[in-house]
Structure 1
């Protein structure tokens, strides 16, 4: 649990199909009890005597390895007539032995229907067994090419799913498989630079900038504001003029109730600056040339160490302090720069909190309203001044 997340999972279809009979089991026991015999008896009591024995053998083997993490893949042969009954049989025995089986995974078929059918079978079996099996509360998980469209369909149909396994479409977004962005130069040696394009969406916004989220009443974000580092940050309760970067008539006054900074440096200073400081301290008052050479080498090492210690927190945590979530914690007081990255749990909590306060029209699946990013009045005028200065005026004859 390196990142504070307990890894959990299930088995593959090939694991089930690898078993041909109960004779494939090295042992039939869990906690000294013949699980095969007990499971067969439970299965008969529930009226599913025709379910696959080889699948039951596979489930017993998996339960032996993970008695408190038993999550069975139930669609290798027949979900309703074999997989679910075999799970219920083994899970009931595990519960009787004091273990806590998890549930089932559905990986094919009509997931909404099968989840509801599985839940009704769990409830009926639990009642038939006297309520001692805890089957009714078993988790039902689904996989099989889960994407955004499937999620909306499941919600529209209604389902009994407790968890979803997103695999294929998790790493590569189906709707936007390529990340359409590039890094562009906006400032060099303190001088703002701009890139002009016939496509206004590709015109860069020059200069070093900070970004702030302006939150209105009811804790709903209004827009994000880009502010040159030379300007003061927006202040809660104080009105600020927000411009569209390129369209003159699109502007609005915003009086935020809360201001969330969005950018936190991940590197402060540079090696040559740290080197200069370290060298100056090392050779101050020392006229010996050999000592100066040694001090220079020492300063280089110190600069490397100082620069290496200057890494700070990722941008996602910056607003967390304002929201009471993943606030960065400082480490290494001697350097005064280093902070610990938030844990995955903290990042997840922060992201959930931020998504929950967005307006519904920003996150709706069909024709969502674009979230606004504006610039200050000063930055707006500077953009167009630099644009006019850098682009030559055409001559016509």
Structure 2
């Protein structure tokens, strides 16, 4: 499966291209903003990525997660021809494209029969998590099943490679099973993963037939263990992560369009590299949220417009980025390079070889392949009592000592393979 080798660069197109916040205000004239992304495709490839994970691109009322027409490109971004140009440009570079499918709910102005919507006991249309402008679809309705099948196939026909299924945690897994029963035979190479933030990940995948789900538990454990200087939390999460890999490969990340950016989430900026090293040293299909590779900052707030800070407009081309972000970009390149040279890591099992609150040794193994990550959060150097036989340093922060790889400087890390 091509997704076994995928490393995604995630882009939220409406924010990235500086589109107006209201879809209705932009329907005339048409603006081909998706063309701006072509300037960034080589940047993504040089970063080490092999795919684009695109946020909503369909006609919507505001932020894209309030879709009004899944068959139409949002006019703030362009039209079918604009989208086709992006697909062609991406394919010519070997980049896969996965689209964001918002099928749990739609915008209020979505044109559909009343029986397409889920009803509360009092007969009112249900809404998504208290958002009155986001109305929930009735997934028990065969017409809704067929609509989602038709949407997926329409865009797979136009050259996309898969779907991210937004808010899957609100959708019964049997719905995706019924949808994929019709889609997979036509597109056996397509990849489907759902947004799950809690619950029985493995059970949901088994029932739904999805290829993967988002690994929010690991995301939380990474930044939380670093902030609290408590690697016991990470060790616990990795044990559970390993169990998931027995049945499917989770989609992993340290940042996305829905959460405070990693550079703002961490209480000590020296631990940014620790988080990245963990991401790329353990099993999963990893993604990098655009801007995180430049150490962008941004805090998500629970209010109207609270996502704006984490979904900013980007400059016209990479050369217009600020100088101070490029060291973080190069750090990503080094760690993604390790990942690409060790593709077996996608299904590796990770064991904890040494553990204290402020230090941990993680050993990822697949057959006779082995990679060892040593992480130190203490202010002073730490000696790790681990077996380094046949291992050499393959990545470390600039300035880290490689004289004795078992001794890791304060607030540093070393990756050996």
**TM-score in terms of structure 1 length:** 0.32
Comparing both chains, which one has the higher relative contact order based on Cα–Cα distances under 8 Å and sequence gaps of 6 or more? 2
Q: Which has the higher strand share?
A: 2
**TM-score in terms of structure 2 length:** 0.31
